[in-house]
Amino acid sequence: MNQLEVHVDLDAYRANLERLASLASSAQTMAVVKAGGYGHGMVPVARAAREVVPWVGVATPTEALALRASGDTGPLLCWLAVPGEDYRPVLAAGIDVTASSVAQLHEILAAAGETRPRVHLKIDTGLNRNGSARSEWPALVEAARRARGRLDVVGLWSHFACADEPEHPANDAQQTAFDEAVAQARDAGLEPSLLHLANSAATVTRPSSHYDVVRVGIASYGLNPIPRGDDLGLRPVMTVRSRLAHVKEIAAGEGVSYGHRWVAEAPTRIGLIPAGYGEGIMRAAGNRCQVAVHGHRVPMVGVVCMDQFVVDLGDIEAEPGDVVTLFGSGDDGEPTAQDWADVLGTINYEIVTRLGGRIRHTYRGGR
Ligand SMILES: *Cc1c(COP(=O)(O)O)cnc(C)c1O
């Protein structure tokens, strides 16, 4: 094992996708694998997704092209580009693209060449992030209608702001706005076959938002989109492990790591883990998070450094070389990504996605 290993259980990933697809009933499922598959590794995750669901989604055209370069051939949507994006290789690779403005639609058309772009028009229904402003939607629909001979408007879509709070009034408001935008597009003569709005949280809590496709990210990785929500029968896919690089005894009153932000109250044994914020382990995890050694939880003590951090082993029998689990499914007593998120005041998405640096990914269940 390297200094830090992200172990990814692709059997669990596929099982999660199948579970979500069953919740989505008649809608097709899109596996969202952006940002390196939320830290799990984009290409292996997408390859596994292809075995069980029809769609894969990523944010940027660059990510989509990387998937195609890996041999991926199935239905693939990307949705985030800046002006000046070179759509030619994207369209030539048969990737579905998103238009959020008239200018973007024109850029896509200008790059079409011999291809017939498959375009999903995106309406902003209240997230106030990406997507056409509602005031600009009629113009975007009209521009797409006029270009009908040269492209296919295959989808209309939007994204929720508050789906992780199922009772939040914004959810109903956004869905109503989406229905209105769809009706406007249909009145103007567009005939999209794919309407899509739901992310993971809406997939599990809001069947009325499923339409034709659901876009699932976090839940497919076995993490609950609603932190204290129902048990969905999903299994965390990622386990993060390292090994003790060193074990030593310190006396009462000795400080640990930069700034001596932790001082031993009694003589104890400390263990060194060769991973730090260079691998995306938050510096703030020091003195707050726990890891597991031989099934026992031990506290991270002192600040996390760039390449290493320290745990207080207390009286746990542990030797250099022993495995340390930072977080995982929780089955063997280790914390989960949700536990880390709760302690650090963030969301499970950030805990897994920010991992990087000198990490080695290993996979179970790859084919
Ligand atoms: C990331 C993303 C998703 C997936 O969201 P989850 O909450 O992880 O399921 C879906 N749609 C869009 C537009 C996204 O950016």
Distance CA 271, CA 298 (A): 10
**Any idea what the Cα angle at residue 147 is, between residues 141 and 150, rounded to 5°?**
140
Which residues have any ligand 1 atom within 6 Å of their CB?
32, 34, 59, 79, 159, 199-201, 215-218, 225
At 2, is the pLDDT very low, low, confident or very high (cuts 50, 70, 90)?
A: low
From 129, 159, 234, the mutation candidate for ligand 1 (largest count of ligand atoms within 8 A of CB) is 159
Ligand 1 centre from 49 Cα, in Å?
Answer: 15
> What is the reported pLDDT for 228?
82
Query: What is the reported pLDDT for 216?
Result: 98
- Return the best residue to mutate from 199, 220, 234, 238 for the ligand 1 pocket (most ligand atoms within 8 A of CB): 199
The pLDDT assigned to 231 comes to 87
- Ligand 1 mean position, distance from CA 238 (Å): 18
pLDDT at 72 over 80: yes
Whether pTM exceeds 0.85: yes
> What pLDDT, on a 0 to 100 scale, did the predictor assign at position 54?
98
Atom of ligand 1 nearest to the CA of 215: 10
Q: How confident is the model at residue 230 (pLDDT cuts 50, 70, 90)?
A: confident
pLDDT value of position 65: 98
Mean pLDDT over 174-193 rounds to 97
How many whole angstroms from 160 Cα to the centroid of ligand 1?
9
**268-273 and 262-263: which strand pairing?**
unpaired
Mean pLDDT taken over the chain: 97
Q: Atom 4 of ligand 1 has which residue's CA nearest to it?
A: 217
Residues known to be catalytic: 34, 258
pLDDT digits (tens, 9 = 90+) for 263-316: 999 999 999 999 999 999 999 999 999 999 999 999 999 999 999 999 999 999
